[in-house]
Amino acid sequence: MKSPVSDLAPSDGEEGSDRTPLLQRAPRAETAPVCCSARYNLACLSFFGFFVLYSLRVNLSVALVDMVDSNTTAKDNRTSYECAEHSAPIKVLHNQTGKKYQWDAETQGWILGSFFYGYIITQIPGGYVASRSGGKLLLGFGILGTAVFTLFTPLAADFGVGALVTLRALEGLGEGVTFPAMHAMWSSWAPPLERSKLLSISYAGAQLGTVVSLPLSGIICYYMNWTYVFYFFGIVGIIWFILWICLVSDTPETHKTISPYEKEYILSSLKNQLSSQKSVPWIPMLKSLPLWAIVVAHFSYNWTFYTLLTLLPTYMKEVLRFNIQENGFLSAVPYLGCWLCMILSGQAADNLRARWNFSTLWVRRAFSLIGMIGPAVFLVAAGFIGCDYSLAVAFLTISTSLGGFCSSGFSINHLDIAPSYAGILLGITNTFATVPGMIGPIIARSLTPENTIGEWQTVFCIAAAINVFGAIFFTLFAKGEVQNWAVSDHRGHKN
């Protein structure tokens, strides 16, 4: 896929007639060193930030298993137990100081979904504020707020379901600004040919946070009790906030220790892509089909992602019948694979663009197809293998792992089509993509009244079909170049 223009930068090999002659003639700035660089330090700190963020988000999925009185399930008579118990029930090694609650499956669904009712509200405002004022403080205080609210989870649970649902919604408000704020920061920090690597490193923290928090929450529940799950992760979040505030800057221009060479490299690589407009072009933005391609892909991907993120521990317990320790560990295994695929796909995507002259659009399409079609296939397969524990875990792991390729697909396409407004665009797409988190667990629980294998097959097939539709829509309508409305001189630029 070599460019027919000898002096064309490798990432500029887009199709169509929108090429900008000025950019084709512009020499590419020599890459600044990676070691000890400010941009990779930002990637590492944001990696740990999203590690904390997802630890705070998903720990309830495991803790809830231990919070609910096991007799409630029996009284509710909702579980068929088609599969034999995988292991003998374990004897709890501690005094149960954590209370047990009489919450049926429907109530648990509302508790798990309540987070997203707050999360959806602050997406677009978060992107707008970050694009105007910078993302450092917004992201930092978003995670800090979530951490502080997490510390009060045991108290809220004692007050009742309403208090816990409200608290989780408040946590969602805090987390809702984080991804748009991070995207806004990367619009000023990420050179085009390093976007996939930098963003995949940054957001991979979310997957590793899931990998660590799920089994660790299970261990804490087993050896201590569920209340300590929230105390532990809440304190970790506060420690991260202190480091973030002390070590991070909004832009290369305001960074105190960045080298002049790295600063010039970043600024020169972005100078033809950022807009000087003070007003946000809302109407052209909302009429942009490439934006809606990302919206559809993001919504579709998140339907599967959130269904598994919130209900995989339930599936492991009620259908495959793993105990609390095994549940936390095995629920985390798929996200370890996803984390690895995110890191590797980021390296591969940028190498395809920089060394092999593949176009941005080709890379985004290919990685989105792998990250959405692949998971759909293995998710359906997982539903049809019955009580084969090994295959079930293997297929769910492969399904979730392949989803990591999307981190170099549609997930960062906002920065390709409108880097100046990337935070706002992510706020828009994530608003729609949060809806599956709100309704997905509720729909899934309504479709699984008895937790039979057949009922879960329906849940998995619906998620897979939505994934496939999103992949096709994105492939047809996505773009890889900066859109006309996103630059002040209204010319499309390649990246």
pLDDT digits (tens, 9 = 90+) for 203-225: 999 989 988 988 888 888 888 88
Q: Is 15 a residue whose pLDDT tops 80?
A: no
Residue 492's pLDDT is what? 45
Distance (Å) of CA 253 to CA 79, 173, 265, 321: 59, 30, 12, 55
Q: Is 167 a residue whose pLDDT tops 80?
A: yes
Q: Is 233 a residue whose pLDDT tops 90?
A: yes
Q: How confident is the model at residue 433 (pLDDT cuts 50, 70, 90)?
A: very high
In the predicted model, what is the mean pLDDT of residues 448-471? 92
Q: How confident is the model at residue 7 (pLDDT cuts 50, 70, 90)?
A: very low
Percent of the chain with pLDDT over 90: 52
Compute φ and ψ for 92, nearest 5 degrees.
Answer: -70, 135
Q: How confident is the model at residue 35 (pLDDT cuts 50, 70, 90)?
A: low
Mean of per-residue pLDDT scores for the chain: 84
In the predicted model, what is the mean pLDDT of residues 29-44? 76
Q: Is 137 a residue whose pLDDT tops 50?
A: yes
Cross-strand partners of 493: 482
Q: Is 401 a residue whose pLDDT tops 90?
A: yes
Residue 277's pLDDT is what? 66
In the predicted model, what is the mean pLDDT of residues 51-73? 83
Judged by average pLDDT, the poorest of 37-41, 60-64, 121-125 is 60-64
Q: Residue 492: helix, strand or coil by DSSP?
A: coil
Angle at 489 between CA 483 and CA 493, to 5 degrees: 40
Distance (Å) of CA 260 to CA 189, 224, 251, 264, 298: 14, 51, 13, 6, 37
Judged by average pLDDT, the poorest of 2-6, 327-331, 358-362, 370-374 is 2-6
What are the DSSP calls for 343-365, one per residue?
HHHHHHHHHHHHTT---HHHHHH
Beta-carbon count within 10 A of 468 CB: 17
* Type of residue numbered 436: P
Q: Is 91 a residue whose pLDDT tops 60?
A: no
In the predicted model, what is the mean pLDDT of residues 441-454? 85
In the predicted model, what is the mean pLDDT of residues 425-436? 94
Residue 103's pLDDT is what? 87
Task: Tell me the pLDDT tens digit for each residue of 307-339.
Answer: 887 778 778 878 887 876 677 678 788 888 999
Q: Is 22 a residue whose pLDDT tops 60?
A: no
Q: Is 347 a residue whose pLDDT tops 70?
A: yes
In the predicted model, what is the mean pLDDT of residues 348-358? 91
- Quick one: DSSP state of residue 34? -
Q: How confident is the model at residue 291 (pLDDT cuts 50, 70, 90)?
A: very high
Residue 8's pLDDT is what? 34
Q: Which two tokens stand for residue 304?
A: 């599967």
d(CA 54, CA 379): 22
Task: Tell me the pLDDT tens digit for each residue of 363-398.
Answer: 999 999 999 999 999 999 998 988 888 898 899 999
C-alpha torsion 82→84→88→94, nearest 10: -20
d(CA 357, CA 338): 26
- Quick one: DSSP state of residue 80? -
Residue 185's pLDDT is what? 94
* Type of residue numbered 418: A
Burial of residue 391 (number of CB atoms within 10 Å: 0-12, 13-18, 19+): middle
Q: In sequence order, which residues have a C-beta less than 8 Å from that of residue 21 and are 6 or more positions away?
A: none
C-alpha torsion 173→124→344→332, nearest 10: 20
Q: How confident is the model at residue 285 (pLDDT cuts 50, 70, 90)?
A: very high
What residue has token string 């097939």? 461
Distance (Å) of CA 146 to CA 49, 313, 477: 12, 22, 36
Q: Across 179-188, 305-314, 440-449, which has the greatest mean pLDDT?
A: 179-188
Q: Is 9 a residue whose pLDDT tops 80?
A: no
Residue 467's pLDDT is what? 96
Angle at 465 between CA 371 and CA 115, to 5 degrees: 75
Residue 2's pLDDT is what? 41
Residue 6's pLDDT is what? 34
d(CA 256, CA 168): 37
Which of 434, 412, 432 is closest to 423 using CA atoms? Answer: 412
d(CA 334, CA 319): 17
